[in-house]
């Protein structure tokens, strides 16, 4: 599903009740200053384009590793732009300049620790240094009865895909579920649009009673 990219400066108009509005934030001192080309935003957009079967819009930000600026960006994307989901990439390691988790917690009203736990479990299948990652996820609720899910992702495109999709065996079966399998239902629960995924990429999980069109709701 192709997305429209919208500047993150004003409220984004939802063109369909099921359209997902996604904030994409790449956090890097050097990429934001033009030292090298950013890889985070293209990786996020490419993956979402293959995974989402329902319409979506993206609001993009490329910003430096500054805690106050990160928090302000997340608040702006949720409160002003109306994003249902915000994905960040970068700034989640143990280095002194890695402040994304703290800035994300400052923007949230409720923490969702299961996302970070699962991301580290997936990454540990590949590298032992996954225990150094500090990704967090939060819900931000606004005074206008709007809420969004904010998730920190790793900084490398390969790791982004692995944590979102999970791990598959040689037969294509899912060995370890990716975190995005839980995202659509979480968005349902906080009052967002009904997002659908392509199961060959990642199969969204919902209880049977929450599946649209299911009998006996």
Distance between CA atoms of residues 115 and 97, nearest Å = 23
CB atoms within 10 A of CB 206: 16
Please report the pLDDT score of residue 175 as a whole number: 83
- Mean pLDDT, residues 184-196: 98
Give the pair of three-digit tokens for residue 190.
Answer: 């906080």
What tokens does 172 get? 């294509």
Determine the pLDDT at residue 4: 46
Give the domain ranges of the chain: 4-8+15-210
pLDDT of residue 195: 97
Closest CA to 1 of 166, 186, 188, 197: 197
pLDDT in the model for residue 215: 52
Residue-wise pLDDT for 14-24, tens only, equals: 999 999 999 99
pTM: 0.92
Calculate the average pLDDT of the chain.
92
Grade residue 143 by pLDDT with cuts at 50, 70 and 90. Answer: confident
Secondary structure element (H or E) that encloses residue 160, with its range: helix 157-165
Q: Which two tokens stand for residue 111?
A: 């923490």
Q: Check residue 71 and give its pLDDT.
A: 98
Residue 172: predicted pLDDT: 77
Mean pLDDT calculated for residue range 115-138: 94
pLDDT > 90 fraction of the chain, expressed in percent and rounded? 80
Q: What angle do CA 153, 70, 179 make, to 5 degrees?
A: 20
Residue 112, both tokens: 């969702």
Strands 147-153 and 137-141: antiparallel
Segment 72-116, tens digit of pLDDT: 999 999 999 999 999 999 999 999 999 999 999 999 999 999 999
Give residue 2's pLDDT: 44
Residue 111, SS3 per DSSP: strand
- Contact (CB, 8 A) for 119 and 163: yes
Whether 182 shows a pLDDT value over 90: the answer reads yes
pLDDT of residue 168: 82
Give the phi and the psi of residue 129 in degrees, each rounded to 5: -75, 0
Q: What is the pLDDT of residues 24-71, one digit of tens each?
A: 999 999 899 898 889 999 999 999 999 999 999 999 999 999 999 999
d(CA 214, CA 61): 38
200 pLDDT tier (thresholds 50, 70, 90): very high
CATH number of 4-8+15-210: 3.40.980.10
**pLDDT > 50? residue 1:** no
């Amino acid at each position: 599903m192709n997305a429209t990219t919208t500047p993150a400066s004003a409220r984004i108009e939802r063109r369909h009740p099921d359209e997902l509005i996604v904030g994409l934030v790449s956090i890097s001192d050097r990429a934001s200053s033009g030292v090298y080309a950013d890889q985070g935003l293209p990786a996020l957009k490419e993956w979402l384009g293959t995974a989402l079967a329902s319409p979506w819009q993206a609001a993009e930000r490329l910003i430096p590793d500054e805690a106050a600026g990160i928090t302000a960006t997340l608040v702006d994307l949720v409160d002003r732009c109306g994003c249902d989901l915000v994905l960040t990439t970068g700034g989640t390691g143990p280095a002194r300049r890695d402040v994304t988790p703290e800035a994300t917690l400052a923007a949230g009203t409720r923490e969702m620790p299961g996302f970070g736990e699962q991301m580290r479990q997936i990454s540990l299948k590949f590298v032992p240094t996954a225990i150094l990652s500090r990704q967090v996820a939060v819900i931000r609720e606004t005074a206008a009865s709007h809420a969004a899910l904010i998730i920190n992702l790793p900084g490398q495109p390969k790791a982004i895909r692995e944590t979102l999709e999970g791990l598959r065996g040689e037969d294509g079966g899912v060995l370890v579920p990716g975190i995005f399998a839980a995202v659509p239902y979480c968005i349902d629960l906080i009052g967002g649009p009904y997002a659908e995924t392509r199961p060959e990429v990642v199969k969204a999980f919902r209880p049977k009673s929450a599946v649209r069109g299911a009998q006996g709701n």
